[in-house]
Amino acid sequence: MITQKKTLVLLLVLSLYLNGFSQKLTTNFGAPVGDNQNSQTMGVNGPVLLQDIHLIEKLAAFDRERIPERVVHARGTGAFGYFEASADMSEYTMAVPFQKIGKKTDVAVRFSTVAHGKGSAETARDPRGFAVKFYTEEGNYDIVGNHLPIFFIRDAIKFPDFIHTVKPSPVTNKQDPNRYFDFWSLSPEATHMVTRLFTDLGIPKGYQYMDGSSVHGFKWVNKEGKVVYLKYTWKTKQGVQNLTPAEASAIQAKNVGHATESLRKDIETKKFPQWDLYVQFIKPEDLNSFDFWPLDDTKHWSEKKFPLIKIGTMTLNRNPVNFFEEVESIAMAPGNLIPGVEPSEDKMLQGRLFSYFDTQRHRLGGNFQQIKVNQPKNKVINYNSDSWNSSRNSSFPNPDINYEPSNHIPVAEENKYRNASYSSAEKAIIVQSPINKTNNYGQAGEFYRSLTDTEKEHLIANLVGDLSQVNSKDVQKKMITHFYRADKDYGMRVAKALGFSAKDFR
């Protein structure tokens, strides 16, 4: 028998249910929409009227639903969570997330592939982007890297050319090994990254099964202005797991978004993925004491020479509620720095400091930092004004004063703070030249020799699979020469698999 109380509860639930489906629609400017199913026409069967403001607004909004996709890292997904510090690093940096044990900082993460478009398969052989945004009380701090610890080139001036090679041909609109191997054959610094990419590491099983790296070196600065160079490494607590080409093909035939789906499902079922964050240090006075330039992003910092120091753990525990607003609109940039962190002299990083901000302005507009997912936790105070989607001007202490200095608004003491800055190039002259210590093959050979026999077989098979599609024998021979200089066995095995003999290199 249904009691009066239960009846009232049922009526309330029914009312909420019905109201949810009969909510009053409005236009973007808040006016009620009378009919959202039928356009205004001249008579029942007449032509549609231009005066139907709701129709025009609805179509115009629909026409603009898509924004330019990222030129690189277009295919990706995201999640949210927190970072908890496990070490007090105040001896080395003022950066607030790393000041005391147990401190928690909210984070947003975007994982991605690099070369292919927004709707491409997540089984592609490709580096994976690994970008983390820390929402700190002193502004947003982004660590924007990849799942592999190095990159193909060491100077940003070559980046547009490199990306053009891995994008579809402007003639055939198809990715073509002839193009990227042509570029790599004349870029010996890429040998190390190509070797890593063509192992099984090139196709992670899922985003939660891969490590991450800042790739670049950065500078930490403490309160006394003392500087130390460092790299960040994220170690997955789920274990590194990868796919073979056969496994990737089988998955791709059924699901082009398997990695996004897998990450989202784990978070939904409360199998929250975690990564430990480590740093490696080099003192400024030691930068020139190695047989390579440590700020060359084609070089890995050996864990034996530069021990990993654990500083905290990241946990992802929330999926995006609206993908466009929280993932497609998130704007990661290596130039999002906070007191205690500075960019190093890495040539590739220096170019990215400009390029990432610029691409976000192109995609999201000049006020992309005012989009909710990009807003810092602390209050933003500056006099950047107007332009598209500006919502800051009215929040000025005095809306009439959008300049500095002004007698009306004294400068606060905290606004006089100036980041400490250290450069190893105080007396340098301006040049355009390669770095002194290129050592393009040493680490590539070390990495090859560290692989198991099975891993070496997979590497050779993966390389030959793409190199066999290259029409130019000259390009094939140049790539073999790079591999041979890294390791004799490495080069000879690729040569043999491609049908070359020793006399072909005389």
CA dist 149 and 195 (Å) reads 12
> What is the pLDDT, as a whole number, of residue 184?
98
> What is the pLDDT, as a whole number, of residue 1?
47
Residue type, 367: N
Annotated binding site: 356
The predicted-structure confidence for 44-60, as pLDDT tens digits, reads as follows 888 888 888 888 888 88
> What is the pLDDT, as a whole number, of residue 414?
52
- Per-residue pLDDT band for 396 (boundaries 50, 70, 90) equals low
Residue with tokens 């001249």: 42
Annotated binding site for heme: 356
CA dist 440 and 186 (Å) reads 12
Q: Are strands 128-136 and 104-113 parallel, antiparallel or unpaired?
A: antiparallel
Active site residue 146: yes
Active-site option among 54, 116, 140, 146: 146
> What is the pLDDT, as a whole number, of residue 32?
87
> What is the pLDDT, as a whole number, of residue 202?
98
> What is the pLDDT, as a whole number, of residue 319?
98
- Per-residue pLDDT band for 255 (boundaries 50, 70, 90) equals very high
Residue type, 14: L
The predicted-structure confidence for 184-234, as pLDDT tens digits, reads as follows 999 999 999 999 999 999 999 999 999 999 999 999 999 999 999 999 999
Q: Are strands 274-282 and 341-343 parallel, antiparallel or unpaired?
A: unpaired
- Per-residue pLDDT band for 20 (boundaries 50, 70, 90) equals very low
Task: Give the class (CATH, top level) of 4-63.
Answer: few secondary structures
For residue 262, give both structure tokens: 């897998």
The predicted-structure confidence for 230-251, as pLDDT tens digits, reads as follows 999 999 999 999 999 999 999 9
**CATH tag, 76-147+204-376:** 2.40.180.10
Active-site option among 73, 116, 192, 458: 73
Quick one: angle between helices 177-185 and 159-166, nearest 10? Answer: 150
Decide which of 378 and 472 is more confident. Answer: 472
> What is the pLDDT, as a whole number, of residue 394?
64
> What is the pLDDT, as a whole number, of residue 12?
52
Closest by CA position to 448, among listed 413, 494, 409:
494
CA dist 136 and 35 (Å) reads 46
Query: Mean pLDDT, to the nearest integer, of 36-46?
Result: 86
- Per-residue pLDDT band for 454 (boundaries 50, 70, 90) equals very high
The three-state secondary structure class of 401 is coil
Q: State the CB neighbour count (10 A cutoff) for residue 91.
A: 12
> What is the pLDDT, as a whole number, of residue 300?
97
The predicted-structure confidence for 285-297, as pLDDT tens digits, reads as follows 999 999 999 999 9
Decide which of 233 and 400 is more confident. Answer: 233
Active site residue 178: no
% the chain with pLDDT above 90: 73
The predicted-structure confidence for 100-130, as pLDDT tens digits, reads as follows 999 999 999 999 999 999 999 999 999 999 9
pLDDT at 350 over 60: yes
Q: For the chain, what is the mean pLDDT?
A: 90
> What is the pLDDT, as a whole number, of residue 349?
94
The predicted-structure confidence for 259-271, as pLDDT tens digits, reads as follows 999 999 999 999 9
For residue 297, give both structure tokens: 């992003």
Give me the helices (H) in 198-346, please.
Answer: 245-252, 258-268, 323
Domain 442-505 belongs to what topology?
A: Hemocyanin, N-terminal domain (1.20.1370)
Q: Where are the domains of the chain?
A: 4-63, 76-147+204-376, 442-505
Q: What Rg value do the Cα atoms of the chain yield, rounded?
A: 27
The predicted-structure confidence for 153-185, as pLDDT tens digits, reads as follows 999 999 999 999 999 999 999 999 999 999 999
